Amino acid sequence: MKRKHKRLTFVLVALLLLGGAAALVLSAFEENIVFFQSPSDIAAGKISDDRRFRLGGLVEEGSVDKSAGETVTFRITDTANTVRVSYTGILPDLFREGQGVVCEGRMESGVFIADEVLAKHDENYMPPEVADAIKKSGQWQGETK
Amino acid sequence: MIAELGHFALILALMVALTQGVIPLVGAQRNHAPWMQYANQSAILQFVLVAISFACLTHAYVTSDFSLVNVVQNSHSTKPMLYKVSGVWGNHEGSMLLWVLILAVFGAAVAMFGRYLPPALKARALAVQALIAVGFYLFILLTSNPFQRMFPPAQDGQDLNPLLQDPGLAFHPPMLYLGYVGFSMAFSFAIAALIEGRVDAAWARWVRPWTLAAWCFLTGGIALGSWWAYYELGWGGFWFWDPVENASFMPWLIGTALLHSCVVVEKRDTMKAWTVFLAIVAFSFSLLGTFLVRSGVLTSVHAFATDPERGVFILVLLLIVIGGSLTLYAWRAPQLKSTGVFQPISREGALLLNNLLMGTAAGVVLLGTLYPLFIDAVSGGQDKISVGPPFFNAVFIPLMTPMVAAMAVGPLLAWKRGDLARALKTLWLAMALALVFGIATWSLQSGQSPWGIVGVAIGSWLAIGTLIELADRVRLFRIPLRDSLRRLAKLPRANWGMTLAHFGLALAVFGITGAGAWKVERVQSMRPGETVNVSGYDFRFDGASEKEGPNYLITEGRFTVTKDGKLIAELAPEKRIYTVRQMPTTEAGIHTLLSGDLYAVIGDSNADGSFVTRIYFNPLVVWMWIGALTMVAGGALSLSDRRFRIGAPKRSAMPAGAQPAE
């Protein structure tokens, strides 16, 4: 193989690889990006039932119901609207009423079925959506670092 | 008084670093030996000063000096001694001090042990190191001073974040930083080489030990961090593609590529500019990792925008280092002429493929990590998205599968021009067994993810392929066995290192596959005496009791695990409340078997006396840690190869004008 051809081979392989990676990234983005919504977005009817999304806000005071054993229900609020959430599993250590939370899952007949619940797990790192949701609702007390 | 001493020592270190960043550079340019020599003395002096500073902060933590803001915010008098010490770097300010300490340690190591380095290269590399250090000293002194006093002193501290009060996480940051900062050495040598306009085999041999050491520490640090996440967070997984995890993973990917391209420069005198580029990128990713974790940009783009002091400082530092080094690269890299030529199918070609795949993988991880921040920033906070594990798995696994497949073939190809058909013929047994295992997996698992089959097949392909390569190298069964064994004993340690590291990755692939594809999870309320069956194991809940730890209260659950009536293990998962911060944490109860981990977590109690419990069977997960340890062992073994001792290699022909060392 001539030097020129060799270089061409390398360039082609590299391009092929980049092209493949780009295709992978694009298709993965299309399928796997999860949008963040607030209870108000749901009230406005922006959500279709088949799409996974993240729901964030504050856990409403007095709304946590653990009477069904491993399935917990609670309401998430952004002070304007609330959504009922059902979750089967162990809630994160820092899940508390009145605190910010992000749930991932989908809507099923008016109830948000969460398969993942995230509360902040380190005082220096909290899901960005929670911070904003709390800020928007005016209950932001600031982080004491 | 001692805190002021620490502060003062740090300021002196900045001054020393400033001079070290200028005088040796000028000296090397003018070929003035005493000025170049200055780099040695100043690097050691810098190390002594930073060590004093770090010791002062440690003293403040150990003695619980609550007149320091930093100690108040991150310590408490009742905290066990281990966490008083690890609290020094368990916070922003202290961890930055640890960062510069490690930087100074590496600088001093080059000064003391780099006897045979050409004086000009050494002087320039140490000067570049000092310039990096200047940036970090300024950052600490201007925005993150750990020695800040408060008046009046506090009665007691606010305690360290309980999640960090754990042996795994106590040593995770130092390991990780040894890795990050280790790449700064490769970076400094790359910049020095660009200034000199010269990269040769000897250069690669000097850079390689630093890269290898950094890679070993980074591998160990990442493994330690994910092990911690595994038992401490209680989510049953060990890798969540969290931005903080990705921040350490990207330098690892590029560092791995750099490690392999160094080999090509050393053996074949080609791919020079590319290797220098990788050295720059590896350290840039290390800086980016620091920026992502330390600037608060992950917490929120807006938090970053409203409290920008630290973030902007690191961002500017990042721009100067990356921008400056890439500009220098664009200017000088065309001078780095390669002499070796090679065919696409060759050892060089295989290593280049490794580089391309690793680089692409790092690129997509970067994209997935930054994309949500980007969308958030451009939409002004209106659109929020999250890019989670499904994205990364969908992209990363297809990229790594061909990579692992090629890893078994590459070492069998000759330099310059390889014979792919011969290599594949040598690997026939690996191919056959991979197929058999893949099919066996397919028939055993029903209707689950195809990646489980791929993982098993590709893992066995690499494991067996690596062993075949070793056998091929010593000509096993083709010459008398005794001669083969003699060859085996004489193999250079670097070869053993490669074999071990590749084999370790194969083991890790099994662990990742098992835990990723076949994890079984059960969540239920359990009363004492109740039993639940998970993957053939009976988990009996024996109740929970209250206990007291050194600075926390414990609710300890007890599980007895049996299989077919035979006792396998007793698990004691804990829920802890740290009294100072009133913060709960989870400690999973884990019993490790070679076939998988029995993993139990206890949650809240219900009114009827039952507890919510979460029980996992994580197949093969222990192989993940064994694999990571094997990889580190491989790196360390390769590092111990005499050829790569920092002082050992001499340049065959001294560059014109350079003084012979010593």
Contacts of A115 in chain B (CB under 8 A): none
Query: What string of DSSP letters covers A44-79?
Result: TT---TTS-EEEEEEEPTT--EEEETTEEEEEEE-S
To the nearest whole Å, the CA of A60 is away from the closest chain B CA by 19
How many structural domains are present in chain B?
4
- pLDDT over 70 at B447, yes or no: no
Query: Quick one: B408 and B420 in the same domain?
Result: no
B614: distance to nearest CA of chain A, Å?
A: 7
| Interchain proximity B344–A10, CB inside 8 Å | yes
Q: Is B654 a residue whose pLDDT tops 80? A: no
Q: How far is B204 from chain A (nearest CA, A)?
A: 23
Does residue B511 sit in the same domain as residue B526? Answer: no
pLDDT at residue number B355: 93
B389 → chain A, closest CA residue: A32
Confidence of residue A120 (pLDDT cuts 50, 70, 90): low
- Sheet containing strand B596-605, edge to edge, reads B520-526, B611-619, B596-605, B589-593
Question: Does residue B190 share a domain with residue B123?
Answer: no
Q: Is B570 within a domain? A: yes
Separation of CA B437 from chain center: 31
Mutate to test the interface with A, among B395, B608, B615 (most CBs of A within 10 A): B395
Spatial CA neighbour of B23 closest among B44, B50, B9, B42: B42
Amino acid residing at B262: C
By CA distance, what is A123's nearest residue in B?
A: B161
Q: Are residues B126 and B247 in the same domain?
A: no
Domain end point (choices B127, B160, B193): B160
**Residues B259-284: tens digit of each pLDDT:** 999 999 988 888 899 999 999 999 99
B367 vs A13, A25, A70: nearest CB: A25
A10-14, A94-98, B540-544 — most confident range: B540-544
- Bridge partners (DSSP) listed for residue A65: A73
Answer yes or no: do B532 and B552 share one domain.
Answer: yes
Overall average pLDDT of the B137-147 stretch: 93
Question: Of the ranges B97-101, B177-181, B601-605, which one carries the lowest mean pLDDT score?
Answer: B601-605
Instruction: Determine contact, residues B432/B364, Cβ cutoff 8 Å.
Output: no
Render pLDDT for B105-118 as a digit per residue (tens, 0 to 9).
999 999 998 888 89
HEC-encoded secondary structure of B333-396 = HHHCCCCCCCCCCCHHHHHHHHHHHHHHHHHHHHHHHHHHHHHHHHCCCCCCEEECHHHHHHHH
Check B363 against A28: CB less than 8 A apart. no
Across chain B, what does the average pLDDT equal? 89
Measured distance CA(B35)–CA(B143) in Å, rounded = 32
Q: Is A142 on the interface with B (CB under 8 A)?
A: no
In tens, the pLDDT along B497-537 reads 999 999 999 999 999 999 888 889 898 889 999 999 999 99
The DSSP secondary structure of B606-640, one letter per residue, reads PTTS-EEEEEEEEETHHHHHHHHHHHHHHHHHHHT
Q: Tell me, what's the pLDDT at A124? A: 40
**Residue-range definition of the domain harbouring residue B447:** 415-516+624-631
Closest-CA distance of chain A to residue B467, Å: 29
One domain, residues B121 and B3: yes
What are the chain B neighbours of A4 within 8 Å (beta carbons)?
none
Complex ipTM value: 0.77
Q: Are B520 and B601 in contact (CB under 8 A)?
A: no
| B486 and B508 co-located in one domain | yes
Looking at the complex, does the CB of residue A46 fall below 8 Å from at least one CB of chain B? Answer: no
Predicted structure pTM score: 0.90
Instruction: Give residue-wise pLDDT tens across range B351-369.
Output: 999 999 999 999 999 999 9
Does one domain contain both B497 and B557? no
Written as six digits, the tokens of B155 are: 């009665």
pLDDT band with cut points at 50, 70 and 90 for residue A39: confident
Please answer yes or no on whether A70 and B524 come within 8 Å at the CB atom: yes
* Strand B583-587, strand B589-593: pairing: unpaired
Spatial CB neighbours of B172, under 8 Å, sequence gap ≥ 6? B221, B224, B225, B228
Nearest residue to A111 via CA among A63, A62, A79, A70:
A63
Task: State which residue of chain B sits closest to A24, comparing Cα positions.
Answer: B395
SS3 state at B124: helix
B95 and B170: one domain?
Answer: no
Share of chain B above pLDDT 70, in %: 94
Query: How far B194 CA sits from the closest chain A CA (Å)?
Result: 24
d(CA B59, CA B147): 12
Q: Is residue B10 part of a domain?
A: yes
Q: A39 CB contacts (<8 Å, ≥6 apart)?
A: A55, A57, A76, A77, A78, A80, A81, A82, A83
Of B544, B523, B537, the closest CA to residue B610 belongs to B544
Of the listed ranges A38-52, B83-97, B227-241, B555-569, the one predicted with least confidence: A38-52
Residue B654 lies in a domain: no
B-chain CB neighbours of A53 within 8 Å are none
User: Is the pLDDT higher at A131 or at A125?
Assistant: A131
**Whether B390 and A31 lie within 8 Å, measured CB to CB:** yes
A72 to A59, A65, A112: CA distances (angstroms): 12, 6, 12
> Which of A21, A90, A132 is opposite residue B603, by nearest beta carbon?
A90
B87 with B202, same domain: the answer is no
- In 3D, which of B90, B94, B72 has the Cα closest to residue B158? B72
Residue B595 within any structural domain of the chain: yes
Residues B380 and B466 in one domain: no
Last residue of a domain, one of B101, B132, B160: B160
Task: Round to whole Å and give the CA distance between A104 and A122.
Answer: 19
| pLDDT greater than 90 at residue B659 | no
Say whether residue A31 is in contact with chain B using an 8 A CB cutoff. Answer: yes
Are B452 and B389 in a shared domain? no
Inter-residue contact B358 to B253 (CB < 8 Å): yes
The mean-pLDDT minimum among A49-53, A138-142, B386-390, B543-547 falls in A138-142
H or E element that contains B88:
none
CB-based contact A35 B383, cutoff 8 Å: yes
Beta bridge partners of A114: A87, A105
* 3-state SS class at B416: coil
Amino acid, res. B621 = V
On chain B, the residues whose CB falls within 8 A of the CB of A126 are 299
Given B379, B414, B449, the domain boundary residue is: B414
In a domain, B662, yes or no: no
In a domain, B329, yes or no: yes
Question: Min CA distance, A139 vs chain B (Å)?
Answer: 16
In a domain, B545, yes or no: yes
Kindly tell me if the per-residue pLDDT of A100 is higher than 70: yes
Classify residue B242: in a domain, yes or no.
Answer: yes
- Chain B residue closest to A104 (CA)? B386
